[in-house]
Structure 1
Amino acid sequence: MSMYSKWNKLLLKGLWWLVILGMLAAIPVAYERHLSEQSSRKVEFVFDYRDLLEISDTQTDPRRFVTEQLQQMKKHGIGSVAVYESTLNELKLSRRIELFSSHEATALTQTPISANENFTYLIFAEKDSEQQLLPLINQTFNSLNVKTRPWSYKNQPGLIIEMAMEQAMLRTMDPDPITMQMLKDQGFGIVVRMSNRRPFIASQMDTLLGHLHNMGVSRFIIDGATVPGFTSEKDTSKLEEMAELMEKHHIGLANIELQKVQQKGFNTLAKRTHYNVVRLHSFTETDGQKLTENLTEEELRERVQGVADRFVLAVKDRNIRMVFLNARAVKNVDKGVILHPLDAIYDSLDGPDGAIPRIKDAGFVLGTAHEFDYVHSGWQNVAKGLLWLGAIALIALTISYFIPEITLAAFVLGLLGSAGLLVLNSGLFGKVLALGAGTCAPSLAIMYALRAGKRKLERPTGSKLGFSLSLLIRTSLISVTGILFIVGLLNQIHYMYVLDQFRGVSVLHLAPIAIVAVYWLLFTEKMSYGDRIARARQILASHISVLWVIAAAVIAAAGFYYLSRTGNEGQASAFERYFRSFLENTLGVRPRTKEFLISHPLFLLGGYMAFKYRSALILLLVGVIGQASIVDTFAHLHTPLVISSIRVVYGLVFGTLIGLVLIAVWEIVSRSWQRWVPRLKES
């Protein structure tokens, strides 16, 4: 035996110890992540003040409507209001000013104005508005080199802005100080929608942030495609100034989930502010409009319940700490009225089975949302080293199930290659290792199960039920190794805030299926490599029948449906959404359907039948879907570990119960067949 063969044989025995060492290293890392997740328990419901103003513009008494609705919001658990940077249009909606074009001013004053003039004429509605808004408006337009001059109409003070009204209404100013003071006096928290539409001047931004801090503002929601201070990807100097000012005034960020594109500069600003970030779930105007459609009372109740479920799920399952509520007035032609969804939104919050009581029951409290207190001890760097070795060992173990002779070479090459990747890109290093370990763990688990099932077929001794139950437990424990490596290798705060993502969900679903399929076709039988190659050629050269084409189409359709339901944007049918909601509301945490309804029960039945039927091993093969799902559950790094753990346990428990029912049905059918078929033949 060559030296390589000796070392290869020794390594095969030692790889599992490296895997176990990596798993042990991951446990305290996972515990510190759990501590981080538990450090932020306040949930903040925020309403868009501009939306409220726009709805009020459809009412007969806009100011009274705004006052009444703010009282209702306070009553129903909405503790904060989002205020935008001001525009002339928003000040007009607030009834603080009135605006006229040159043409309208001519008609109003009956005074001729030059035909070449196209200015904006402004009248202040109240003395208080003039005192507080005049300096703000003058400063804004003078900074744009736009002249302003006093104007009045019937003793009402005003202003002429030498800019076309359509353009002037788009110019951004500091948030309305009158509105902010009013909201503060009523006990609301204030969240500011901050944009990058104005030139960044550090001294002016410092003054603004100081004023906002004094008004109780502690967080920004970015309004637009770029964060304040962003100029380009290469020039981050102004971003760094902005971050320093935000830290100085203790103001953080809110990251809107499920955005197609992250705002430019957001990640840099988040990092520079030491991740003073909360995750935000947006209930959009379009979402609100669905509550104003022509619905029966029952349909409306169902939609309100769906909104409540959505809020609870966001907070509990996705680390959301800020829920941003939007609404708009909608013309209902059939009823001949203008409707708004505010009352329906209130019902979703604290109506029957509303979101807020359920959120409180889950251990959260209403209040100003704050960032996670990220727990990361120095020893985690040592733990990451052990996880590195363990992950490479797990990958090498999987390879050994196919070609055991190259295990040592695969292990050494894996170490060298990953070390090079660590030097080049440390973030990608963790993702690649996590993906490799997460893919190999369920693959290894099912390959182990197939070997165990085959041995039991050859030596059918012992309890069939005991074997199938223990096989499910052992297989799932092997899959858990993948969970620990994903959690341990990807324990960074930016994954919790989804500022970076582990984009391996589809691979984690499909790759184990492909790996165990190849193992099933070519490696379950003892044969030489030449024979395996010949068998592969035979499979590839097989004549294709119509039945095969139909089967392939069915499998492809099933695969497409399988993939369409994975990931954060997975699609589900209306019935499935209802079933999911039922499970969520009944159990608190919804187990995955493919685990407890399909994969685990069929796996149990396969283990039970493996004593007698070789074809039963195919049912064990189906178990890879459930095992991959177990690992994939923890690949959603924004979901708390407690929730993911409960989800997996529920899947195994309910999957076992359904599996036992399948076994009982099989026994009844099998015994009935054995009893009645001989009698039918005799007759």
Structure 2
Amino acid sequence: MRTRYLRWNRQSLKWLWGLVILGMLASIPVAFERSQTEEGSGRKVEFVFDYRDLLEIGDLQTDPRQFVTNQLQELKKNGVHSLALYESTLNELRLSRRIEIFSSHEATALTQTPISPNENFTYILFAEKESQDMLEMLITRTFASYNAKVRPWSLKNQNGLIIEMSREEAGLVTMDPDPIALKMLKEQGFQIVVRMSNRRTFDVQRMDMLLANLAKFGVQRFIIDGETVPGYVNDENFEKLDLMAELMKKYEMGLATIELQKAPQKGFNRLAKMIQHDVVRLHSFTESDGEKLTANLTEPELEDRIQGVSDRFVLAVKDRNIRMVFINARAVRNLDKGKILNPLDSIYESLSGKDGALKRIEAAGYVLAPAGKFYLVHSDWQTAAKLLIWLGAVALIAITVACFFPEIAILVFLIGMGGSAGLFVLSSSLFAQGLALAAGTSAPILAMILAIRSIRKRYKAPTGASLLYAIWLLLRTSGISLIGMFFIVGLLNPITYMLLMEQFRGVSVLHLLPIIIVALYWLLFSDNLSYKDTIVKARKLLESNISVLWLIGAALLTAAGFYYLSRTGNEGQASTMEKLFRSFLENTLGVRPRTKEFLIAHPLFLLGAYLCVKYRSAVLLILVGIIGQASIVDTFAHLHTPLLISYIRVLYGLCFGIVIGIVYIAAWEIVVRSWRRWTPLLLKGS
């Protein structure tokens, strides 16, 4: 029975490879439909400025209204055709110069009449008749909903209101967006994006009237203001949330999801699903980002920062499927210059200056227009394709495990199918992510194991040109690593991953685990030892005396590992010099290859493959190549990046890696030949 099983097991490898190939083929049309979805938004990009920030900067000017008017013209001139309008508050209406606000103490001083010491009310005066006509009913109705009495008040023929609520509390009450601002901005040709909160008690009738009014002003999209979406109560009560979704569909309004939030806004995913994912990704340029443009800088330093902002906007649009760029700004008191500064002129320069973002974005095939949603392309046959992809992914994992333990290939495949099926029943999302992570991690491991085996064979029986062999081995290894791409793209193609509403976890595992497993294979399994001899070898390694040099080496490797992981994922860190280098590559090539691939991993792999005929220890250089192989797969794990960009990035990495690797090889030959030539002469002379 055992003999029959082992025979079946040996024969199963070719069938497992067949399943892998079928899975790869099935993923190709799935990837094609994802590309169609990415193009389905019409490649429209919208730049949005925070109108409240503009009011706050204007409040520090000598003529606030004229300043705001002038800056609105400048915004439009510099490609910003949308403004974000918040739900209004008394404080924002004061910034707009619609009203003035006073406490009871301040009203006493103004009227010079005694007011009860027990009174702590809010007094407001309308700046003009238009403000009273447009805002009086809004303020009265809003505060009445908070059970706060509102009554008329006037001062020197200027009409106003008394709100029986403290000024501090009244300033926090949220009202509908400023109707005067809505009308003015619409007349000036701006697209309006509303910042919608969940601060008020959800009322269907009120929300219906609000959305109907906003629709008249052409509002097409919300940006959620706060931690919860309108209508959210808790994770068990979705009645109001679903009513909000119905109203949004009624008035054809969508959402924007803010990139790199620390935590997702509660209720967002359900609301997005209910409105058929009418969602665009938003990149936020924050007030803190703007402050960096107002620091004490030399002219060249300021130019570098402006260029950095421009590069940032271009990269967000091209590399991360961003369709809305939200710009904030804040005035800063600069004590050294004795001025109040703002970053507006620098922001305009970053958008439409000499190397501005707008021209580069348009040159990349995008148009400046209100952001449109992705139109999901998803055919019914994808269900059958996913089944083949599932089989292929598990087969790839089984083949990789079989490199260590050949006798259990069939067993691993059967257990993998059963375990993943159970995971699917538990959670389809967890199933897809887990299987994609396992297959994506297996591909570079398998590629490196096959490369090490090829190196060992070549060392024993060298044939052919070393340089051509090295290039061929790098390309073959990278091709095997790319198998992981097929399964990641095929399994994780729902639109929620493109919008980053659902994130592929485990990127650090994808980077680190292949390094550990390939090193383990090289140490214990690459010599084709029996299991008994392998255990003896492992025990001998564990029982080896540890020198101080080993400890230093381990500390350096650990530090290098932490540094390597700190640079992975969306929040990876990079030095200033590296950022400048990245910017140069991006601007020169259009798509930036990964530095660790074309400068380090691929060239060292090539050098190691070239030297393997002469030096057995050259395999250590090959092992460094696992970083590049894992990085190839990780490129496609960034599911919010357009597939075409990922393909080009990998291709550039290989092309430049081969060129730089040839330079490394040439440098090695020069050093070695010089050493051989001059060392005897030096020894003879001595």
TM-score range, shorter chain: over 0.9
2:57 matched residue in structure 1: 55
2:227 is paired with a residue of what secondary structure? coil
Q: What is the deviation of 1:665? A: 1.6
Structure 1 residues 615-671: Cα deviation after superposition (integer angstroms, max 9, x where no partner): 111111111010000000110111111111111111000000001111112222233
1:6 matched residue in structure 2: 7
State how 1:459-474 maps to structure 2 within 5 Å: 459-474=461-476
- Distance in 1, matches of 2:570 and 2:474, equals 28
Instruction: Tell me how large the CA RMSD over aligned residues is.
Output: 1.0
2:323 is paired with a residue of what secondary structure? strand
2:637 is paired with a residue of what secondary structure? coil
Is 1:390 the counterpart of 2:392 in the alignment?
A: yes
- Distance in 2, matches of 1:205 and 1:71, equals 32
Q: Which runs of 5+ in 2 are unaligned?
A: none
Structure 1 residues 94-122: Cα deviation after superposition (integer angstroms, max 9, x where no partner): 01111111111111112221111111111
State how 1:67-106 maps to structure 2 within 5 Å: 67-106=69-108
- Distance in 1, matches of 2:188 and 2:236, equals 44
Structure 1 residues 388-416: Cα deviation after superposition (integer angstroms, max 9, x where no partner): 00000000000111010011110100011
- Distance in 1, matches of 2:528 and 2:219, equals 70
Of 494, 497, 511, 2:496 maps to 494
- Distance in 2, matches of 1:102 and 1:553, equals 67
- Distance in 1, matches of 2:623 and 2:296, equals 49
- Distance in 2, matches of 1:257 and 1:311, equals 13
2:45 is paired with a residue of what secondary structure? strand
1:7 is paired with a residue of what secondary structure? helix
2:39 matched residue in structure 1: 38
State how 1:335-484 maps to structure 2 within 5 Å: 335-484=337-486
**What is the letter of the counterpart of residue 633 of structure 2?**
V
- Distance in 2, matches of 1:152 and 1:322, equals 44
Structure 1 residues 550-576: Cα deviation after superposition (integer angstroms, max 9, x where no partner): 111111111111001000000111111
Q: What is the deviation of 1:677? A: 3.6
Of 149, 152, 157, 2:151 maps to 149
**What is the letter of the counterpart of residue 101 of structure 1?**
S
- Distance in 2, matches of 1:501 and 1:131, equals 49
- Distance in 2, matches of 1:29 and 1:523, equals 37
Q: Tell me, yes or no, if the aligned pair for 1:192 and 1:220 is still in contact at 8 Å.
A: yes
2:506 matched residue in structure 1: 504
**What is the letter of the counterpart of residue 642 of structure 1?**
L
- Distance in 1, matches of 2:113 and 2:529, equals 102
State how 1:597-608 maps to structure 2 within 5 Å: 597-608=599-610
Question: Structure 1 681/108 Cα, relative in aligned 2: closer, same or farther at 3 Å?
Answer: closer
**What is the letter of the counterpart of residue 336 of structure 1?**
G
Of 248, 266, 272, 1:264 maps to 266
Q: What is the deviation of 1:681? A: 4.9
State how 1:221-370 maps to structure 2 within 5 Å: 221-370=223-372
Is 1:29 the counterpart of 2:26 in the alignment?
A: no
State how 1:642-657 maps to structure 2 within 5 Å: 642-657=644-659
1:149 is paired with a residue of what secondary structure? strand
2:592 matched residue in structure 1: 590
Q: Tell me, yes or no, if the aligned pair for 1:123 and 1:159 is still in contact at 8 Å.
A: yes
1:176 matched residue in structure 2: 178
| Identity among equivalent pairs (%) | 66
Q: Which runs of 5+ in 1 are unaligned?
A: none
Q: What is the deviation of 1:465? A: 1.3
Q: What is the deviation of 1:676? A: 3.4
**What is the letter of the counterpart of residue 464 of structure 2?**
G
- Distance in 2, matches of 1:661 and 1:265, equals 54
Instruction: State the TM-score, normalized to the length of structure 2.
Output: 0.99
2:482 is paired with a residue of what secondary structure? helix
Q: Tell me, yes or no, if the aligned pair for 1:460 and 1:612 is still in contact at 8 Å.
A: no
Structure 1 residues 20-73: Cα deviation after superposition (integer angstroms, max 9, x where no partner): 110001111111111111122111110001000010110000000000000000
- Distance in 2, matches of 1:264 and 1:526, equals 54
**What is the letter of the counterpart of residue 21 of structure 1?**
L
- Distance in 1, matches of 2:191 and 2:666, equals 59
Q: What is the deviation of 1:674? A: 3.3
Between the two proteins, the alignment pairs up a number of residues equal to 683
- Distance in 2, matches of 1:218 and 1:64, equals 28
2:311 is paired with a residue of what secondary structure? helix
1:566 matched residue in structure 2: 568
2:138 matched residue in structure 1: 136
Of 557, 560, 572, 2:559 maps to 557
State how 1:602-641 maps to structure 2 within 5 Å: 602-641=604-643
1:320 is paired with a residue of what secondary structure? coil
Structure 1 residues 192-243: Cα deviation after superposition (integer angstroms, max 9, x where no partner): 0000000000111011011111111011111111110011011111100001
Structure 1 residues 149-180: Cα deviation after superposition (integer angstroms, max 9, x where no partner): 11111111111111111111110000001101
- Distance in 1, matches of 2:543 and 2:266, equals 52
1:577 matched residue in structure 2: 579
Q: Tell me, yes or no, if the aligned pair for 1:99 and 1:120 is still in contact at 8 Å.
A: yes
**What is the letter of the counterpart of residue 227 of structure 1?**
V
**What is the letter of the counterpart of residue 342 of structure 2?**
H
1:527 matched residue in structure 2: 529
Q: What is the deviation of 1:586? A: 1.1
**What is the letter of the counterpart of residue 10 of structure 1?**
Q
Q: What is the deviation of 1:319? A: 0.7
**What is the letter of the counterpart of residue 339 of structure 2?**
V
Q: What is the deviation of 1:3? A: 2.6
2:20 matched residue in structure 1: 19
1:43 is paired with a residue of what secondary structure? strand
Structure 1 residues 290-320: Cα deviation after superposition (integer angstroms, max 9, x where no partner): 1111111111111111100110011110111
**What is the letter of the counterpart of residue 552 of structure 1?**
A
2:123 matched residue in structure 1: 121
Q: Tell me, yes or no, if the aligned pair for 1:580 and 1:590 is still in contact at 8 Å.
A: yes
- Distance in 2, matches of 1:25 and 1:681, equals 65
Instruction: State the TM-score, normalized to the length of structure 1.
Output: 0.99
- Distance in 2, matches of 1:418 and 1:506, equals 22
- Distance in 2, matches of 1:524 and 1:596, equals 27
1:662 matched residue in structure 2: 664
Q: What is the deviation of 1:464? A: 1.0
Q: Tell me, yes or no, if the aligned pair for 1:196 and 1:224 is still in contact at 8 Å.
A: yes
- Distance in 2, matches of 1:422 and 1:227, equals 30
- Distance in 2, matches of 1:60 and 1:527, equals 84
1:634 is paired with a residue of what secondary structure? helix
1:602 is paired with a residue of what secondary structure? helix
1:162 matched residue in structure 2: 164
- Distance in 2, matches of 1:515 and 1:306, equals 39
**What is the letter of the counterpart of residue 582 of structure 2?**
R
Q: What is the deviation of 1:678? A: 4.2
- Distance in 2, matches of 1:395 and 1:220, equals 44
- Distance in 2, matches of 1:432 and 1:121, equals 60
Of 542, 545, 570, 2:544 maps to 542
